[in-house]
Amino acid sequence: MIVKRFFEPLIAQNSYLIGCPAAGEAIVFDPNRDPQQYIDGAEAAGLRITQVTETHIHADFASGARELAQRTGASLCVSDEGDQHWKYQFPHDRKLKHGDRITVGNVIVDVLHTPGHTPEHLTFLITDGAVASQPIGAITGDFVFVGDVGRPDLLEKAAKMVGTMESGAKTLWRSIQEFARHPDWLQIWPGHGAGSSCGKGISAVPHSTLGYERLFNWAFRAKSEAEFVTNVLTGQPDPPPYFAVMKRVNKGGLQAAKPPGVLGRPTLDEVLAQGGFVVDARPAEEFADSHRHGVINIPLGGSFVTWAGWLMPYDQDYYVITDCPDDVKRALSLIGLDRMAGHFSAFAGRGGEGVLQLSADELKTMLPSNGLALVDVRYDSEWNEGHIPSAIHIPLGHLAGRVDELPKDKPIVVHCQGGTRSSIGASLLQKLGRKDVANLTGGYAAFAKR
């Protein structure tokens, strides 16, 4: 049996290719929108992809299952569990139920229904039938992570299905109790690693065993359903609004991205004059030094996709300032932001505006005065752990909708934990018309240390 793990750091997401060398066939689990990587991986191992499946209707990235199946001619097998709200709405080859089995040569894939994160969620037990009669591992998707479990609150917070958090948490508890009956040696191959918004404490360790998780994963150590429900619903980060979009498009079946038009036209001046949406993907330091009025800075890096999903529109074309347009386009395609109409060079992004950078020492000398508004754009959990008393707390993802809560007659200083989110926030405030905006370098961490 051949097992290949594909990790996408921009969304901290795992997908898997498992194949039988004797049959020359492979199955892919939870593919994202970069299908070529799976095709190349299969070819390198002497395999062809004959089956494509996924654990559930994803919220944090755009599924590539339909496109991969179309490109390879593979059978597309998806969950048929859950109620009518959680049925796939596009044509597929097989509807999977609890107890079903998929075979790929000598590889046996047994289907378990493990609801809680979502009603239709599946886990796949993998057995190397050539040498064993019991499973070696489980592809757990967003059910069990290393050190954590999938959050059950997304249906309410992202999909706006009111009243589902607590019932989802109780369902997840029952799924965990049932899954815990499997042997300790069972390997856990999760759908996400550290950095994903699908959990609150996911480890960076890529895989684990059920025995290890039983000992050290807080969810398996909970003494009661009530304790578990309280803990799993406490401290979860705000889900980006694009999660609701992903649920909708993944249920309907996202097709391949359309090829871009001619890039670089019209001119940047024309785009800005017409009120077009422009993202400056340069590093925060370059943006702060010099940028064009009316753009928003989301630096291309580890959190680029997350904040693009928070702040970019799905219903209009957008333009990007970058010298790496292919990297930007690929990153945004992972969450279905396909309407990139053009790009402009980093040099073209330079302009007459900047963002004043304040050190922790400089801010401290200013704080006794009421002459400024200090805005903390961190998550609620970070604020609750400690904050500057005079700060106004508005998490970055909600800043545009709550900008009127900020005084209009005072300079604004934005801060986060380390400086990245506050740079984005400062650019957003400038785009919304605020003139006197500064950023706290090093963020709350630097201020608290001083």
> For the chain, what is the radius of gyration of the CA atoms?
23
Q: Are residues 142 and 9 in the same domain?
A: yes
Convert the pLDDT of each residue in 404-420 to its tens digit: 999 988 999 999 999 88
Q: Identify whether residues 276 and 383 lie together within a single domain.
A: no
Instruction: Provide the pLDDT for residue 364.
Output: 87
65 in a domain, yes or no? yes
Q: 159-217: per-residue pLDDT in tens?
A: 677 778 999 999 999 999 999 999 999 999 999 999 998 888 999 999 999 999 999 99
Per-residue pLDDT of 307-347, as tens digits, reads 999 999 999 999 999 999 999 999 999 999 999 999 999 99
In a domain, 260, yes or no: no
- Phi, psi (rounded to 5 degrees) for 241: -65, -20
Say if residue 174 is in the same domain as residue 323.
no
Q: What angle do CA 432, 434, 435 make, to 5 degrees?
A: 135
CATH number at residue 164: 3.60.15.10
Q: What 3-state class would DSSP assign to 289?
A: helix
Q: What are the DSSP calls for 372-441, one per residue?
A: -EEEE-S-HHHHHH---TT-EE--GGGTGGGGGGS-SSS-EEEE-SSSHHHHHHHHHHHHTT--SEEEET
Whether the pLDDT of residue 260 is over 80: the answer is: no
Residues 29 and 129 in one domain: yes
Q: How confident is the model at residue 263, as a pLDDT?
A: 47
Confidence band, pLDDT 50/70/90 cuts, at residue 284: very high
The answer to whether 46 and 78 are in contact (CB under 8 A) is no
Could you tell me the residue range of the domain that residue 387 belongs to? 356-449
Whether 183 and 43 share a structural domain: yes
CATH number at residue 279: 3.40.250.10
Domain count, the chain: 3
Among 349, 382, 409, give the residue marking a domain's end.
349
Percent of the chain with pLDDT over 70: 97
Instruction: Establish if 77 belongs to a structural domain.
Output: yes
**DSSP state, residue 34:** -
d(CA 384, CA 18): 43
